[in-house]
Every structure is written in structure tokens, then in C-alpha cells.
Structure 1
Amino acid sequence: MKYRSVFDIIGPVMIGPSSSHTAGAARIGRIARHIFGEQPERVTIHLYGSFAKTYKGHGTDVALVGGLLDYDTHDQRIVDALQNAEKAGMQVTFVPDDEEPEHPNTARLILEKGDDRMEVVGVSIGGGKIMITELNGYPLKLTGNQPAIFVVHHDRHGAVAAVATVLARHEINISYMEVSRRKKGQTALMVIETDQPVNARVADEISRLPNMLKVATLD
């Protein structure tokens, strides 16, 4: 295995006893918050594998909620995240699940505000690293290490090319792209990781393209 930096070996700067159960959990919560685009009013968190067995003892609960409050892994406020969430008006429910996941450190987060609802599955793979493996039922592989744009769109010819053209016009380079769909000709999810952040102006331009339904970005 090739390491890119010393932090891949010793793990991230963090609050809590475990890079997998604390730092990784905080990153899952924070990425979910950023994809959702704002603080949710209600969150239901299903925990699987070792997350379900040890989430209180290892601080997985406070880490996930801290991430949902947009706290970074080293933020001292993570310790008080449950109380802070209550003060901020965010209701959080934990559901330990007996189902055996593909990876032992798995969480399914359901974020809601008004009529908006988003479901994210995240996996903590060790050393503070994570993988987002599902978004609203669409499979994907997202590390959160680079900026990304998420586009829900009608499954029509030219949709992917249209988005890529806008990014190219703004000199945003694509480093990774994945398109998932549940059924041919219906809706699909385009996930694009980029070398440069996609700002709000570019995201708005993409949202106004034909066949686009929803656009979200991750810096």
C-alpha cells in the first residue's frame, strides 16, 4: 500500500479515541451535511456492525452529530455535539441495526428539513478515511478528499456531455466521474470529482441545463 503523507499512517488530528469510530464518523456526518446543503431539522442515523455495538463508548454518536453541525475532526465542540444539536434545533435519533453490512463501520444517515429528504450511506475505512457508498439509493464511491458536484438528472442522451462542457468552459478539470441509474430512461445521478471547487455560479448554470433536476456541490 502506498502512503501519500505521514497522516495516512498516523491518522488525522482529531477529538476522540479512534480514527475509525470518531474521526471517520465526523467526516461522514460533515460530508452528509455539505451535500444536503444546510443544517437538517431531523436526522435518523442507522448504525451497523461495530458502529452499532460501540457507538457510545467510542464517541461515534457525538462525532457523527458534530459532523452534521459542520465541526471538523479536531473541533473541541464535538465533545458537546449532542447538546449543541439540541440547542440548534436539530433532532437526532440513533438506530443500532443487527443487519450485517459489507463493512463493519457503516452508518446510514437520513437528513430531513421540511419536505426535503436525503439518505446517505457512509463507511469509515480506517485512519480517518471514509467512503460514501450510496446517495438516495444510487451507488457511488466518494472519498470526500476532492471537490465534487452531484447532479440528479433525467437519463437522456447528452446530459453528461452538457455538464462536462460547462465545467470545461470554466476551466474546471474532472478527475473522476460516475453515473448511476436505477432504470434506463428515468432518473440518474452524476457524481463528478474535480481538481477545482465548483462555485455557486457554475452550479446554477448547470442546474439550468435541459434535463437537470437537482445540483449540489461539495468543496
Structure 2
Amino acid sequence: MKYKSVFDIIGPVMVGPSSSHTAGAARIGRAARNLFGKEPTYAEIIFYGSFAKTYKGHGTDVAVVGGLLDYDTANEKIRHAIKIATDKGIKINFHEEDTAVDHPNTVRMKIGNASESMELVGISIGGGKVEITELNGFELHLSGNHPSILIMHNDRFGAIAAVTQVLAKHEINIGRMEVSRKDVGKEALMVIELDQNIEPFIEQELSSSNHILRVSKIVD
């Protein structure tokens, strides 16, 4: 992995003790919260690899729950996140898995409420940096380091063009984009990293485009 500056190695301003096990976990949890679009009422959190072995000692459990509560890495409330979530009535369950995974710092999160749910896999790659590698069965490569939008859509002619035209109209530049689908004509997913956050009215315009099912975003 290439680092752009010494701060990539030291890690972000954070509640400790570990940039990969604590700050990274908080960012994965917060990404899940952003993508779900609201505070969940339950969360099943499955740790793999190094996360599974050390999550209690390194605060990975409180960090990922803090992220779900929308706390950033420096928020002191992270230390008490599990109690805060419990007091809010959020049901949290932790599990440890010894299944082999591609990265030692891996967490799978199943979150939701009475009407909807979401499943996500994230990895902490060091220095507080993370990647989301799976969302509701779609494989992807999404860092939490740039403003991003994830667009679930029907696999139809013109769906991608409709999205890019809206972004171009509002002078929003695309840094990276990937599209995946489960099968021809079925649900598909656009993952778009942007140079800036989008305003709510642009998000609404994207949501009303042809064949768009849902728009989620991760803000910088």
C-alpha cells in the first residue's frame, strides 16, 4: 500500500488505542450508518481474523458501534457507545468467526429496522483507512476517504447516462466509478467517488431519474 503523507501512517485524530482496530472500525460503522441513511434498531456484528481475536482489548466493538451512532473517530462518546446504543434501545450482538478472509481486519455488519435491512463487509487497511468490499451481495471497492454515492438501479439502457448527466449539469466531477450487476436485467449498483459532497437537492434529482431505486451517500 502507498502512503501519500506521514499522517497516513500515524493515522487520524481519534479515540485510541489503534488506528486500524479502533479508528478504522469507527469509520466502517459510520459508513454503514451513512449508507443505511438512518440509525438502525439492531446490528449483528461479525468479526474475522485479527478483529475477532482482539476486538475487546482494542476497542473495536465500541468503535464500530460509535460509528453506527454517527460519531467521528475523535468523539469521546465512542468509549461509551455500546451503553449509549443500549440505552437507545438498539440491539447489538457481536460474533467471532474463524472463517478464512482476505484481510485480517474484517467485519461483516447486518443492520436494519422493522422495515428494511442492509448487509455490509468492511476492512480496515491501516492508518485509519478503510474499504467497503461488499454491500447487499454486491462486490465493490469503496474507500471512506472521499465523498461517494451508491446508486441501486435497474439494469436498463440509459440508467448510467441519466446519473452522469445530472452530475455534469451541477458541475460535480467524478473521481472514480464502478458498476456491477447480479445478472442481466436485474438490480445493479453504481459506486461513484466524487470530488465534493452533493447537496440534498442533487441527491433528490438523482433519486427521481429513470430506473433508480435508491441513492445512498458517504460524506467527506
TM-score bracket, normalised by the shorter chain, equals: over 0.9
- Check the 8 A contact 2:152/2:213 in 1, yes or no: yes
Q: Which runs of 5+ in 1 are unaligned?
A: none
Distance 2:45 2:2 in 1: 33
Question: Structure 1 residue 39: deviation in Å?
Answer: 0.6
The aligned runs of 1:30-69 (5 Å cut-off) are 30-69=30-69
Task: Give the aligned partner of residue 129 of structure 2.
Answer: 129
Scaled by the length of structure 2, the TM-score of the pair is 0.97
Distance 2:183 2:131 in 1: 24
Aligned length: 219
Matched, 1:116 2:105: no
Residues 195 and 21 of structure 1: CA distance in aligned 2, closer, same or farther (over 3 Å): same
Matched, 1:73 2:73: yes
Which one-letter code corresponds to 1:210 in the other structure? N
Task: Give the aligned partner of residue 138 of structure 2.
Answer: 138
Scaled by the length of structure 1, the TM-score of the pair is 0.97
Distance 1:93 1:149 in 2: 28
SS in 1 for 2:65: helix
Question: Structure 1 residue 2: deviation in Å?
Answer: 4.5
Task: Give the aligned partner of residue 86 of structure 1.
Answer: 86
Deviation string, structure 1 residues 88-113 (Cα, Å, up to 9, x no partner): 22111101112111101000011111
- Check the 8 A contact 2:20/2:126 in 1, yes or no: yes
Q: Which runs of 5+ in 2 are unaligned?
A: none
- Check the 8 A contact 2:9/2:126 in 1, yes or no: no
Which one-letter code corresponds to 1:186 in the other structure? K
Query: Moved runs in structure 1, 4+ residues, more than 6 A?
Result: none
Task: Give the aligned partner of residue 172 of structure 2.
Answer: 172
Question: Structure 1 residue 4: deviation in Å?
Answer: 2.4
Distance 1:208 1:69 in 2: 29
- Check the 8 A contact 2:42/2:92 in 1, yes or no: yes
Identity among equivalent positions (%) equals 58
